[in-house]
Amino acid sequence: MNGLSVRVIETAEAVIVQLEGEAGITAADGLQLPLQRLTVKRPAVVVFDMAELTFVASLFLGLLVNFRRGLIKHGTKVQLAGVRPNVLDVLRTTRLEELFEFVAAAPAPVSPAPAS
């Protein structure tokens, strides 16, 4: 996959931002609007599901840091889930792993009950 796919899922536990593909320089445009919308909502927990994220660029990392900064003052917890080793290496190199809480996996979205 070339580019970044962003999917926002609201659950009872958290807002999950599923990221798939490559978060290169051009990916910032596709991520900025969903992050702005979440900043306005001020959810209690935002989990970035990075299990399918294969690459991150510095512009993407800057967006994550600014997003966290905008919400942390309102008590929002920002977590990174399922981070691949190569992405984790970048976060460690840039010392951003100190800013974020890491979890093994994002909470599973609950499927609606089948109609009777």
Which of 22-26, 36-40, 87-91 shows the lowest per-residue confidence on average (mean pLDDT)?
A: 22-26
Q: pTM of this prediction?
A: 0.88
Residue 55 reports pLDDT greater than 90 = yes
Does domain 4-103 fall under CATH 3.30.750.24? My reply is yes
Question: Can you tell me the mean pLDDT for 40-63?
Answer: 93
21 touches 3 (CB < 8 A): yes
